[in-house]
Amino acid sequence: MSKHLSVLSLLLALVWNEGIATAAQSAVLPPSLEEFRKYALTKQGDPRHGAKLFAEDPRLACSKCHSVDGTASKAGPDLFAAGDSFGRCDLVDALLMPSAIIAPGFGTMMVETKSGETHQGVLKQSNKQSVQLMNADGKLIRINSADIKSRQGSSVSLMPEGLQAALSLQDFTDLTEYLTTLKQKDTALASHRGLPRLIPSLIKSVSVRPFFTQELQVPPGQVRTGLTAFYQVPGVSNVFLVLHQKGLIWRMEKTANGESKSIFSDLSQDVFSDRGPNGLLGMTFHPKCRENRKYYLKYQVFEEGKVATLIVEKKLSSDFKSDSGSPARRVIKIVSVAEDHSGGCLDFGPDGFLYFAMGDTGPHNDPNGHSQNRQMLLGKMMRIDVDHTAAGRNYSIPKDNPFVGQRDVQPEIWATGFRNPWRFCFDSLTGELWLADVGQDRVEEVDIVRRGENFGWNVYEGFEPFSNQYRIKRRTFTPPVFSYGRKYGNSVTGGFVYRGDKRSSFYGVYLCGDYTSKRIFGVSQKNRTLSAVRQIGIAPQGIASFGTDEAGRIYLVGFEGMIYQLDFSESRFDQVQEN
């Protein structure tokens, strides 16, 4: 979700300027936030004047902080596809409430040196030698690691509150109008079979219906958080667990009279979710859970001044209605570099081993080459044996892992070259491993992952070359099955291969979606080559995850609090609208 859990304020981390303070102090009070919002959503703006404001107005200095050419060369996010990625309402809210939702990779980092100096900016590089921050003016600040006393992320955007106070209602609307015109251009590879220019919609969309009658939410905090995952309790067809990012797990039981809700476990005191797409992200059950009651969680903690990802082993109570309360067993701990892109999924494969994915953890662009560095677990898919321990680890390494015995390679690695693999699944019929990897600036991608393969980041982003900095001779890369550009969304959420009703035209179709655009896609392939892709529906809420049950039914997790069930009975995958 990296993007899955926070995407809007990435658009407009604009700079400090004195004009805002001056306007706020003037005798005439500026319009309220609601007045700005209503005007911008109901009135027509002039995009040419908005472009001039963006490029030239010294009160805003937008162009100092943001590029619009796809280079991502400045402190703020590149806005070259802002109009594709976000709706008008989202753009307006991002301008009015810049710190409400800080985007992965664009939070403010504060560094205090041993000499008492304080620096702040967007983290651009972090390694053993130094930390590099870029401030809102585009100036790069390099601080030697040996000189650093402390460093800490912040939940406050570089863009101060009150940007709109420097503008009239019409100026604000013109700026918004300009942002809506920024669209991603077709690239030379846009005609690639796996990167279709057009994704057709079904004649009749799949129904997306609430599965529970109530939204599952926690009291709002400074950082926006939401649901992350949904699972059926093994062997109990009417009992489900729902995960919230802040560390809460609800037990939901469907009954003849409706449903009942109770707390399965509360890990909110252990889980770190204060910044970025961090928190309680994933869960899976041991293949012999009905016998040993074991289950596994993936979440972030803040320890020794750093964010780290844990995978822990826990036990259900004897009646399977809650956690047992026994202490968790730490399986593995992986320290992040920049608090972002930690991946979000873990699952047992058909072989009985535990698979889990990690993202590059940032900063943006993966400047240290984590995903191509086989000496670390960042940007990789791992495969471990949690039923045995060996070599001082709380797990052992399967003997047939692809890099076992090789020098300078972590033996846990199953596949490499991922940016932020938010969700993956195993096809319950074929055993194929499907993975959706959240892209950076241009595309999202869906892969079928096999032993020892390299999926390219950050040498490639989707089908397109990205950087040669960490390209290694004779190292080959596996392309995606499917990729899509900003016209269709900017944060892919992986789902499941539908194996419910064998008579359905959706049988064998891989289902995924986009967190931001809320589009739901169906993908079919042959030999890892795209056969067809369809937009099969629209979700009512941001798509944080998908779920399935033992009958093969498919569920959708709305970040804002609702669980939905997909109904395929009145739709056909092979019937699409004419263009």
Residue 511 contacts residue 498 (beta carbons within 8 Å): yes
pLDDT in tens, 6-22: 444 444 443 334 344 44
Q: Which of 166, 158, 157 is nearest to 20 (CA)?
A: 166
Q: Are residues 296 and 330 in the same domain?
A: yes
304 in a structural domain:
yes
390 in a structural domain:
yes
Q: What angle do CA 246, 9, 17 make, to 5 degrees?
A: 130
pLDDT in tens, 418-468: 999 999 999 999 999 999 999 988 899 999 999 999 999 999 999 988 899
pLDDT in tens, 527-573: 999 999 999 999 999 999 999 999 999 999 999 999 999 999 999 99
575 in a structural domain:
no
360 three-class SS: coil
Q: What range defines the domain where residue 368 resides?
A: 207-567
Tokens 């306007």 -> residue: 23
146 three-class SS: helix
Q: Are residues 95 and 112 in the same domain?
A: no
175 in a structural domain:
yes
C-alpha 300/C-alpha 278 separation (Å) is: 6
Task: Identify the residue with better confidence: 75 or 47.
Answer: 47
Q: Are residues 457 and 508 in the same domain?
A: yes
What pLDDT does residue 100 have? 65
pLDDT in tens, 117-153: 999 888 888 888 888 888 877 788 899 989 998 888 7
430 in a structural domain:
yes
Query: What are the two backbone dihedrals, phi and then psi, of residue 339, each rounded to the nearest 5 degrees?
Result: 70, 5
C-alpha 143/C-alpha 120 separation (Å) is: 11
Q: Where are the alpha helices (DSSP H) in 205-338?
A: 289-292
Q: Which two tokens stand for residue 214?
A: 């109530």
Q: Are residues 92 and 113 in the same domain?
A: no
Q: Are residues 305 and 360 in the same domain?
A: yes
C-alpha 234/C-alpha 286 separation (Å) is: 9
pLDDT in tens, 84-99: 777 788 788 888 887 6
How far from the centroid of its chain's Cα atoms is residue 70's Cα?
20
With the C-alpha atoms ordered 153, 2, 323, 221, is the resulting torsion angle positive or negative?
positive
What pLDDT does residue 8 have? 41
The pLDDT of residue 579 is above 80? no
Q: For the chain, percent helix, then strand, then coil, each to nearest 5? A: 15, 35, 55
End-to-end CA distance of the chain: 31
Residue 442 contacts residue 342 (beta carbons within 8 Å): no
Query: How is residue 137 annotated by DSSP?
Result: T
Least confident among 8-17, 202-211, 358-367, 370-379: 8-17
158 in a structural domain:
no
Q: Which of 113, 112, 76, 109 is nearest to 95 (CA)?
A: 76
Q: Are residues 177 and 314 in the same domain?
A: no
CA atoms within 13 A on the CB side of 62: 23
Query: How is residue 409 annotated by DSSP?
Result: S
Q: Are residues 97 and 117 in the same domain?
A: no
* Domains held by the chain: number: 3
C-alpha 492/C-alpha 560 separation (Å) is: 17
71 three-class SS: coil
C-alpha 210/C-alpha 216 separation (Å) is: 12
Mean predicted lDDT score pLDDT of the chain:
89
Q: Are residues 265 and 320 in the same domain?
A: yes
Tokens 């033992």 -> residue: 550
What pLDDT does residue 101 have? 62
Helix (H) or strand (E) holding 82: helix 82-85
Return the CATH number at 139.
2.30.30.100
**DSSP collapsed to 3 states, 90-120:** HHHHHHHCCCCCCCCCCCEEEEEECCCCEEE
Q: Are residues 93 and 141 in the same domain?
A: no
Residue 379 contacts residue 457 (beta carbons within 8 Å): yes
Tokens 């890990």 -> residue: 267
Return the CATH number at 335.
2.120.10.30
Residues 6+ apart with CB under 8 A from 300: 271, 272, 273, 278, 279, 281, 307, 308, 309, 310, 336, 342
Radius of gyration of the chain (CA): 23
Tokens 């390099």 -> residue: 142
Q: Give Dmax (Cα) for the chain.
A: 74
191 in a structural domain:
no
Q: Are residues 420 and 504 in the same domain?
A: yes
Residue 339 contacts residue 107 (beta carbons within 8 Å): yes
401 in a structural domain:
yes
Q: Are residues 174 and 212 in the same domain?
A: no
Cis omega (within 30 of 0) on the bond before 47? no
What pLDDT does residue 24 have? 42
Return the CATH number at 51.
1.10.760
Residues 6+ apart with CB under 8 A from 509: 497, 498, 522, 523, 524, 573
Q: Are residues 33 and 137 in the same domain?
A: no
Q: Which of 207, 191, 232 is nearest to 570 (CA)?
A: 207
CA distances, 531 to each of 433, 436, 550, 566 (Å): 18, 17, 27, 22
